[in-house]
Amino acid sequence: MAVAEPAVGEEVVVAAPVKKHNMATLYTHKSSNIRKTYLLFTLFFAVIIAIGFVFAQIYGNSNILYFAVVFSCFMSFISYWYSDKIVLSMAGAVPVDRNSNRELYNIIENLAITAGLPVPKIYIVNEPALNAFATGRNPQNAVVCVTRGLLEKLNKTELEGVLAHELSHIGNRDILISTIAVVLVGFISILADMFLRSMFWGGGRRRDSEGGGQAQAIMFLIGITLSILAPISATLIQLAISRKREFLADTSGALLTRYPEGLASALEKIGKDITPMRAAKNTTSHLWIDDPFPEKQRTSWLHKLFMTHPPIEERIKILRGMSV
């Protein structure tokens, strides 16, 4: 007993801090990301109401503002409850279960148990490119999606690294804000473009002879400016959210597997892969673990400004620094 007691004590001392450290790393930013989600909804409402108000003044029709408010509420409801289904449909993803891909299911199940998360639904995109993403509104309704190429070209430790990265997005509630951004940013862009086109068709030139010509011209210019800046601002918010969360998910995923080199090696293969993705869209590019449009050369400062992901070389360097 004198020998057995220290062994038991030692096991408790070693295991407990690791578990707490991983849990803290995975969930430290959960509350922050939930607040960011509410902030995104607030900004969305503010932009839509501002666009609606300006164009209600230009056209002299208050119904435009009412329509903008009602429709923004409707789109917020859709984006919260159905954005994951929209994203999966856009990607052409198909579900898999334990029977259809036992190895993939077992890896995700083991990682989810280690992370203290429910086992997410699993989907596959039939694409030869190497990529993956996570989506859903909360851990209980989460989805992890991988491409066929990822399963074929990564070894087990590399695949575990990628899947741990995606589970970290789920643990930190990145998935909700990133998936909602797809719907809301797309809607703002469409609405702004629709109003901008309507003004150039002459709809904004009303009542110049009624003594309000100067004020009307000012509102017209404000409307044009707002229509141009709204989708740009929404896109920049989307990209800022995406870049920061990738670094956090890399670190959390590496701590979850306790093997940073697995994810680093996977990112190396993903970064060298130039296979185009037919399933990828500009509005969903920030969801993937790496930019799904590798054929785009992003070397200028303007390209870097609109990158959906941080440079993959920087991500690999940070991961390998964790192994030292």
Give catalytic residues, as residue numbers: 166
Amino acid at 268: E
54, exposed or middle or buried, with CB in 10 Å at 0-12, 13-18, 19+? Answer: buried
Q: Are 256 and 117 in contact (CB under 8 A)?
A: no
Q: Assign 3-class secondary structure to the chain.
A: CCCHHHHHHHHHHHHHHHHHHHHHHHHCCHHHHHHHHHHHHHHHHHHHHHHHHHHHHHHCCCHHHHHHHHHHHHHHHHHHHHHHHHHHHHHCCEEECCCCCHHHHHHHHHHHHHHCCCCCEEEEECCCCCCEEEECCCHHHCEEEEEHHHHHHCCHHHHHHHHHHHHHHHHCCHHHHHHHHHHHHHHHHHHHHHHHHHHHHHHCCCCHHHCCHHHHHHHHHHHHHHHHHHHHHHHHHHHHHHHHHHHHHHHHHHHHHCCHHHHHHHHHHHHHCCCCCCCCCHHHHHHCCCCCCCCCCCCCHHHHHCCCCCCHHHHHHHHHHHCC
Structure tokens at 20: 């707490």
β-strands 143-147, 94-96 pairing: unpaired
Of 130, 136, 122, the C-alpha closest to 93 is 122
